[in-house]
A = this chain, B = another copy of it.
Amino acid sequence: MSDPLPDLIEEVISHSELNDTGIGVSEIIAQADEDEMALLLESLPIEERLSLWQTIPDHKKLDVLIEMRGDAREVLISATEATKWDKLFVDIDAENLLELADSLPEALVDRAYSAMDRIQRKYFTDANQYPEDQVGHWITHDILVLPHNARVRDGIRLIRREMPRHTDTIFLINRSGHFSEAVPIAKLYALAEHIPLVDIALEDFTVINAIDEGQIAAKEVLFSNYGALPVVDENRKLIGRIDVTTASELNQEYYERQLMASAGMDENEDLFAPVRKSAKGRAIWLGINLLTAFLASAFISMFEATLQQVVALAVLMPVVASMGGIAGSQTLTLIIRGLALKQVTPANMRILLAKEVKVGGLNGVIWAIVIGIVAFAWFSDPLLGVVIAIAIFLNIVAAAIAGVFIPIILDKLKIDPALSGSVILTTVTDVVGFVAFLGLGTLLLV
């Protein structure tokens, strides 16, 4: 298949009066699956999004909502009449409600909860015992389970009855409900019916703990070459599984969060959020950055007299700040990825710091010389060249040190380094850069 989404967007926007049921649009609705529909709705400006939403049959609406990102979803939720919800909640289960809960008003969560049966309610309550960053919050319950002493014939009977997606193993449990072994389904057919399943169980099958970090557990599943891995609670009791679809969703969300965090947004940000809402969300980030910019200005203002006498310093200030910022962000990004992959630890941190400082030192020397010569040539002042060269060197080395320490410290404090790392780093490189440059300028040039 070649990608149909751009065509769909084109189609809907050009027929923006959806009530006249242009042929293309009604076809889209009939054919698209929930994922495509969700992406399409997110891609539409609010008005078109709401029109299209009205034309989606009620029995599909819940599944589409579940696939959408938070902010775009909330637009549709608040546009849905109160009377409709009972119809939408008719088939809701615990996993769906857990996915939606953050976007639903509390009253609607209660209503959905009441619509579920006893088992789903229990699943919902159990999952909520784990916070959203733990994998226990996201488990599914469609597992094939047999007692530890079951035989091949029991296995075959079980898989004839049902076969959930991504199921390639049957989980065996002991009498206390503890997970004991996993049996590969593919082997069942080649064997005699009376053989005990434990005889063909897998060795070294990975088990996920419900309290494990979601993204780490997701990686385990995706690495495992199995369709799903079992999840156990603190007592080793089997409580569900994470399959590759859930795992890749968790992984994808993790990376989207990182990407968006680098600009102070979250992964739920809506492409077509209402202007006021969007402006408000971003204003906070601009405000935080403004404080750090004013801090830099405060340091610059200490050297007002110098700037007045040597205006070339003012001209070259952005060069010093920019080189430090860029060098620092390279180290920062490398460390953030290393932390995400659990590759950066106290054990290798010192050696990593030494290496980054050496890289910074080498690049510092090279660019100090280049920039020093350019500044000298530009302003015909050899001392100015010396001043900017030293400042560049110091700032690039400081950037390397800050680039290693800032994300590691933030990570320890449980603050997402992808979100606040770059602001703090820029503050450091701005202050170090301006103070070194203007300070040396005051000493040598005035």
Chain A residues packing against B (C-beta within 8 Å): 1-3, 5-6, 9-10, 13-14, 31, 33, 35, 39, 42-45, 156, 159-160, 163, 165-166, 168, 186, 189-190, 204, 206-209, 212-213, 216, 220, 222-223, 225-227, 244-245, 247-249, 251-252, 255-256, 258-260, 262-265, 269, 271-272, 275-276, 278-279, 282-283, 285-287, 289-290, 292-294, 296-297, 300-301, 304, 307-308, 311-312, 314-319, 321-323, 326-327, 329-330, 332-334, 336-338, 341-348, 351-352, 355, 358-359, 362-363, 366-367, 370-371, 374, 426, 430, 434
| Contacts A2-B212, A316-B297, A343-B271 given; does A330 touch B282 at CB 8 Å | yes
For A276, the chain B residues whose CB sits under 8 A away are 362
Interchain CB contact (< 8 A) of A363 among B10, B163, B279, B312: B279
For A290, the chain B residues whose CB sits under 8 A away are 319, 322-323, 367, 370-371
Q: Are A190 and B160 in contact (CB-based, < 8 A)?
A: yes
Q: How far is B374's CA from A391's CA once the two chains are assembled, in angstroms?
A: 29
For A348, the chain B residues whose CB sits under 8 A away are 9, 13, 43-45, 271
Closest chain B residue to A274 by CB distance? B355
A427 CB to nearest B CB, Å: 10
Q: Are A166 and B163 in contact (CB-based, < 8 A)?
A: no
A95 CB to nearest B CB, Å: 14
Q: How far is B204's CA from A382's CA once the two chains are assembled, in angstroms?
A: 73
Q: Are A326 and B285 in contact (CB-based, < 8 A)?
A: yes
Q: Are B355 and A278 in contact (CB-based, < 8 A)?
A: yes
Q: How far is B361's CA from A276's CA once the two chains are assembled, in angstroms?
A: 11
For A363, the chain B residues whose CB sits under 8 A away are 279, 282-283, 286
Closest chain B residue to A366 by CB distance? B283
For A159, the chain B residues whose CB sits under 8 A away are 186, 189
Q: How far is B367's CA from A323's CA once the two chains are assembled, in angstroms?
A: 27
For A283, the chain B residues whose CB sits under 8 A away are 363, 366-367
Q: Are A307 and B297 in contact (CB-based, < 8 A)?
A: no
Q: How far is B258's CA from A282's CA once the two chains are assembled, in angstroms?
A: 22
Among A287, A312, A348, chain B packs the most CB atoms within 10 A around the CB of: A348
Q: Are B289 and A156 in contact (CB-based, < 8 A)?
A: no
Q: How far is B366's CA from A204's CA once the two chains are assembled, in angstroms?
A: 59
Interchain CB contact (< 8 A) of A45 among B35, B355, B362: B355
Q: How far is B263's CA from A338's CA once the two chains are assembled, in angstroms?
A: 14
Q: Are B222 and A345 in contact (CB-based, < 8 A)?
A: no
